[in-house]
Amino acid sequence: MVAEPKWNSPATRTLAVTACFDCHSNQTKWWWATDIAPFSWLVSRDVQKGREILNFSEWGTSLQGRRSSDPQRIADSVLSGRMPPIQYWIVHWNAKLSSAQKQQLANGLLASLK
């Protein structure tokens, strides 16, 4: 079965869409600059790598068993500030999460992905 995780709340999914889905789902929203090389190459590489590591759109596949899909690792990446990375939120200001939003997303991911 290929599907998203069973989200613990709409708020968790909204935060994940805002901060994660462009690189960690099949629902990437490409913007105009992604058509311009060499920027397009960098963005495409980041999205491909992100999907290989964790893809919320394919949660029901064999990707789920990977170490990178461990809920605690995912939550820790959010809380530490490693995700979303700076190159992403520089362009997507709404993806720069406050401390409270990071905590809310991490808690929601732990509840949703277990």
pLDDT in tens, 45-104: 999 999 988 999 998 775 555 656 789 999 999 999 999 998 888 888 889 999 999 999
pLDDT at 6 over 60: yes
- pLDDT category of residue 2 using cuts at 50, 70 and 90: low
Output the pLDDT for position 34: 77
pLDDT at 1 over 60: no
- For residue 77, count other CB atoms closer than 10 A to its CB: 19
Structure tokens, 12: 């968790």
- Cα–Cα dist 35/55, whole Å: 23
Give the closest residue to 85 by CA, choosing from 94, 95, 75, 76.
95
